[in-house]
Amino acid sequence: MTIRIGGARVERVEDYAGPSFVPAEMFPAFRPEILEAERSWLVPRYYDPAAGRLCTSIHSWLLRTPRHLILVDSCIGNHKPRPLIERFNQRDVPWLERLAAAGARPEEVDFVLCTHLHADHVGWNTRLRDGRWVPTFPNARYLFSRTEFERWDPRRPGHRATAFGQNVFEDSILPVAEAGLMDLIEDGHELPGGVTVQAAPGHTPGHARIRLRSEGAEAIFSGDILHHPVQVPWPELCSVFDDDPVRGLATRRALLAEIADRDVLLLPTHFPAPHAGRILGRGGTYAMRWLED
């Protein structure tokens, strides 16, 4: 599926799709009455009642502007040691073939924009070659928030490890820095072609969203501001993986309020098919109008 946003084109590159977490494991504030209230649209596309689990996707967005080829988030990766997260551990999937099917070879990518540095957003930054982790995109500049990089750098005093950070810096971030391909950026960093990196903290301190403006059209790649469609009508559901749930909630509510009832396409990283859509205001709450609707 090709999504056109003004003069830009977006393709989704899938790394994983299927059941993930039991709702209350992902969202500690989840209550059974939330599932009942939203069952008419959640089941079966976004919640699998047989498995009792939320349905999610982990994908990259390949953004082709008139000037650049940009990869937004690089998913889980292959052969990465992630023993605390079984479905992330030592994978071997044809993501590079899917990237090729979307019209890109690694050598053609100009920029890699990671909304944050969790394991499922940076894995394909590198690949294993002759026993070493090397950058997958040898001609790209990898843009990381300086705040985010410092949060996950285990060499810094006060570093806090998490399951989503296990081995990640060593195999998916440091090799990029050592290859001289990393740029640490600040809030508001702009790329030619209407692409702006904007701070969206909470899930992690340096979490960012990517805004695209092209020929009067607009889209936001929202990373993990929202993990699942149930958070659209229930933004108070904060992920167990949030570094700062209070700040994350404020960021989520601000995004929903900003784009509600506007022609702004929302492109999250984890929403199941059809993966993208627009936000509708519903008398103090919100709903999703999916791209296919």
Task: Give the pLDDT confidence score for residue 162 in this predicted structure.
Answer: 81
> Would you state the pLDDT for residue 256?
98
How far from chain centre, in Å, is Cα 42?
21
Yes or no: say if 82 and 88 are a contact pair by the CB < 8 Å rule. yes
Full domain range(s) for residue 274: 2-290
Let me know: does 238 contact 150? Beta carbons within 8 Å.
no
Looking at residue 293, its pLDDT comes to: 57
Could you tell me the end-to-end alpha-carbon distance of the chain, in angstroms, rounded to an integer?
15
Mean pLDDT for the chain overall: 96
Gap between the Cα atoms of 211 and 228, Å rounded: 20
Give one DSSP letter per residue of 46-92, joined into a string: TEETTTTEEEEEEEEEEEE-SS-EEEE---S-SS---TTSGGGTT--
Helix, strand, or coil here: 3? strand
In whole angstroms, give the CA distance from residue 151 to residue 159. 7
d(CA 143, CA 184): 6
The count of structural domains within the chain is: 1
Q: Which CATH number characterizes residue 106's domain?
A: 3.60.15.10
pLDDT in tens, 163-177: 777 899 999 999 999
The per-residue pLDDT for range 95-143, each reduced to its tens digit, is 999 999 999 999 999 999 999 999 999 999 999 999 999 999 999 999 9
2, exposed or middle or buried, with CB in 10 Å at 0-12, 13-18, 19+? Answer: exposed
- Read off the pLDDT band of 283 (50, 70, 90): confident
